Amino acid sequence: MKSHAAEQVEAVPGLIAAAERSLPRQADALARARAFAEPFIASETLDTGENTLAHADAVADILRSMGGSEAMQAASYLVYASVHLNKPQEVIAKAFGESYATLALETNKLVRIQQQARAADDSAHLVDDPRSRTEPVRKMLLAFSRDLRVVMLRLASRLQTLRYFAAAKRPVQPIIAREALNVFAPLANRLGIWQVKWEMEDLAFRFLEPEQYRAVAGMLDEKRVEREAYVEQLRHGLEDELKAQGISAQVHGRPKHIYSIVKKMRGKSLDFEQVFDIRALRVIVPGVKDCYAALDWVHSRFTPLLEEFDDYIARPKPNGYQSLHTIVRDEAGRAIEIQIRTQAMHDHAEHGVAAHWVYKESGSKGYAGVAASGDYDSKIAVLRQLLAWERDLAGSADGLFEDRIYVLTPQATIIELPQGATPVDFAYSVHTSLGHRCRGARVDGVMVPLNTHLQNGQTVEIVSVKEGGPSRDWLNAELGFLASHRARAKVRAWFNEQLRHETVARGREMVERLLQREGRTALKLEELASRLGFKTAEDLFAVVGKDEFSLRNIEALLHPPVEHPPEEILLKKARPASSAKGGVLVVGIDSLMTQLAKCCKPAPPDGIGGFVTRGKGVSIHRADCSNFRELAARAPERVIEVEWGRPLADQQAVYPVDVSVEAADRQGLLRDISEVFTKEKMNVIGVQTQSVKGTAWMTFTVEVGDSHRLAKVLKVVDGVAGVRSARRR
């Protein structure tokens, strides 16, 4: 029997068709979205116990009260319907457009993050250990930056959850109330959405500290009738007197917010009657000059407390809030708070900085970044307030976010970077290709050096070339071009790839030259590589180019010897003989010819192994030689145990070994390294050098009697100026 959800999923095509038939595609998005979502969520309940459709209705209503467009309200339904769809992006985009689909998925991702965080945390952690919310806040911030509508939907949804528990007179989970008080209310405050902030604070405080809430509410109610009568008399008189002065003003009483009263009482150790905004008025006037005219009259009519005066018109708050705040005393000495502002300032104060972008219909590309309706500067203002909100939380958590910063792209997207990051880190974070091609940067419109440390909230624009790669200087920690481990890894990978290209090209040339000499140019390179045990021809060229695979192996493949019966090849292990040619002891066969393999150049006391060749005796390899491992895998019956023999007392055996050196190229480098070998009395019998974009790659062939002594000499080579690494090949 099919579940209700499964049946609804199967019905999706019909729902889309019905929605499109009943209403024009671009008209009445709210009604279409509700009709689309209702079959999915009408009988569903949220984790809180609230009916999902009722919750979506209430969220849409909150968004409407905040001035949100029908498009914004419609999204509140699609968010909850999307979890029931097999392909939500595709289905919602088809019925409503890409903008709605993106919003629904981004919001649901964020809801899941918060649910996981709540499930993982003890209910006390959110207050006692602010670090427990680090990751959810970080992901919230990045989600908000990708689609600014998510901010409003999450604020409205959390407010409705608190309203639901208050109306049902049920206790809310403490972690939900704390999250509202400590995360969402500060977010609403930073965005200047005061109505949401105040109501969320009061409801959360009511659940968290019910006795204190009732005590303050009781004090407000105790003389409420008397106080409201006084405020109404004062309101009416002030409005009439301002009109008599030629100032057209609307005067309103301000609501009392219990949590703000408690914070003032606690923060300043005040008694209830000492809190100034218990009696408060708001004056709305036509223009800015009327604000100051009204202020002059109020100060002449009452006794002002000048130390409590704030001019947020001349000096707006960071989120754009403007108003005049003053506290005066009447003849009886009672304190009255009065706010004076224009209607435009009041509208902005009610809806906050979000009013510039969230209340307009979506453009063709939706609201994310700067693609939405509204101007770029207003989006930057919103994003910077989001960054300020994150820093507010960080400040309360003793450096909670000190290990990272957030900067903005020219398209108003937030990029997360480690502390100390530079424009080069930023470029690699946006895209690897942009990092490679980065040649300059503007920070807040000003050209800066590429090793400049970025700060929170800055806008970064990268100046790039069409083609090119990174600079080796970027890997020099002393120059400070990169703070991100990820960016450094990308730069190293680029240089490694360049070196591989050059090595592969060198190997290809060597193999093709050999095939030309042998008159076998018709042989397919991929087939040759496969016959030699390599997956691709490029893999073969890479090891040949690094001199890790001898061309003799290819020659042997091209000229296979006449096959002998197996019994002629297999060697019986017998008692060890006392000595053998080349200083190598071959177990059981002391007269067998031996030769040191050129691919790995073994020297005592290296661990070694022998491989019986056809016609050339035993080839002696280092035990860790990749060629030896491949040969042993292909013909294990030819592997023979070998060990170093003891040279005669009057002989000093020496062995050629290869040493690879990587260094910053400079004049005199070869001379300085050669002098080290000379001083250490180590004979150099061959040198190969190659310089690639300022880096020197050198191979020295030196004669040693003991590979252990070579390791000590390499430490001395490592100390030569410019040398980055010196190792035995």
- pLDDT band of residue 576 (cuts 50, 70, 90) is very low
Cα angle 201, 205, 209; round to 5: 170
Number of CB atoms found within 10 A of residue 384's CB: 22
The Cα–Cα gap between 294 and 324 comes to: 10
Q: What is the structure's pLDDT at 648? A: 58
The Cα–Cα gap between 290 and 403 comes to: 48
Q: What is the structure's pLDDT at 373? A: 39
pLDDT at 118 over 70: no
Q: How far is CA 269 from CA 261, 265, 272, 274, 291, in A?
A: 11, 5, 10, 10, 32
pLDDT in tens, 285-326: 999 999 999 999 999 989 998 888 999 999 988 767 899 999
- pLDDT band of residue 649 (cuts 50, 70, 90) is low
Q: Where in the chain is the domain with CATH 3.10.20.30?
A: 403-483
Q: What is the structure's pLDDT at 43? A: 92
- pLDDT band of residue 74 (cuts 50, 70, 90) is confident
Is 0.85 surpassed by the pTM of this model? no
- Most confident listed range (456-470, 520-534, 578-592): 456-470
Least confident of 72-76, 151-155, 678-682, 705-709: 705-709
Q: What is the structure's pLDDT at 34? A: 92
Amino acid at 221: D
pLDDT at 412 over 60: yes
Q: What is the structure's pLDDT at 295? A: 93
Q: Where in the chain is the domain with CATH 1.10.3210.10?
A: 4-193
Pick the CATH number of 403-483 from 3.40.920.10, 3.10.20.30, 1.20.120.790, 1.10.230.10: 3.10.20.30
- pLDDT band of residue 26 (cuts 50, 70, 90) is very low
- pLDDT band of residue 481 (cuts 50, 70, 90) is very high
Which residue has better confidence, 221 or 23? 221
Q: Which two tokens stand for residue 385?
A: 């307030």
Rg of the chain in Å (alpha carbons): 39
Q: What is the structure's pLDDT at 360? A: 42
Q: What is the structure's pLDDT at 41? A: 92
Q: What is the structure's pLDDT at 461? A: 93
The Cα–Cα gap between 144 and 386 comes to: 8
pLDDT at 339 over 70: yes
Q: What is the structure's pLDDT at 376? A: 58
Q: What is the structure's pLDDT at 701? A: 86
The Cα–Cα gap between 702 and 716 comes to: 15
Bridge partner residues of 304 (DSSP): 328
| Average pLDDT of span 717-727 | 88
Q: What is the structure's pLDDT at 544? A: 85
Least confident of 9-18, 161-170, 449-458: 9-18
| Average pLDDT of span 336-359 | 73
| Average pLDDT of span 407-426 | 86
| Average pLDDT of span 556-572 | 53
Topology (CATH level 3) of domain 218-351: Beta Polymerase; domain 2 (3.30.460)
String of DSSP letters for 451-503? TPPP-TT-BEEEEE-SS----GGGG-GGGT----HHHHHHHHHHHHHHHHHHH
Q: What is the residue-averaged pLDDT of the chain?
A: 78
Least confident of 209-213, 214-218, 223-227, 274-278: 274-278
Amino acid at 177: A
Amino acid at 50: E
The Cα–Cα gap between 294 and 706 comes to: 97
pLDDT at 563 over 90: no
Q: What is the structure's pLDDT at 357? A: 47
String of DSSP letters for 193-217? -HHHHHHHHHHHHHHH-HHHHHHHH
Q: What is the structure's pLDDT at 359? A: 39
Q: What is the structure's pLDDT at 650? A: 56
The Cα–Cα gap between 150 and 147 comes to: 6
Q: What is the structure's pLDDT at 1? A: 39
Q: What is the structure's pLDDT at 368? A: 34
Q: What is the structure's pLDDT at 323? A: 93
Helix (H, G, I), strand (E, B) or coil at 697: strand
Q: Where in the chain is the domain with CATH 3.30.70.260?
A: 655-728
Least confident of 439-443, 550-554, 625-629, 698-702: 550-554
The Cα–Cα gap between 281 and 339 comes to: 6
- pLDDT band of residue 351 (cuts 50, 70, 90) is low
| Average pLDDT of span 476-493 | 91
Please classify residue 362 by burial: count the beta carbons closer than 10 Å to its beta carbon, then call 0-12 exposed, 13-18 middle and 19+ buried: buried
Q: What is the structure's pLDDT at 353? A: 54
Q: Where in the chain is the domain with CATH 3.30.460.10?
A: 218-351
For the chain, the maximum distance between any two Cα atoms, rounded to a whole number of angstroms, is 126
Q: What is the structure's pLDDT at 450? A: 94
The Cα–Cα gap between 117 and 106 comes to: 17
Q: What is the structure's pLDDT at 555? A: 81
Q: Write down the CATH superfamily of domain 655-728.
A: ACT domain (3.30.70.260)
Decide yes or no: CATH 1.10.3720.10 for domain 4-193.
Answer: no
| Average pLDDT of span 273-280 | 63
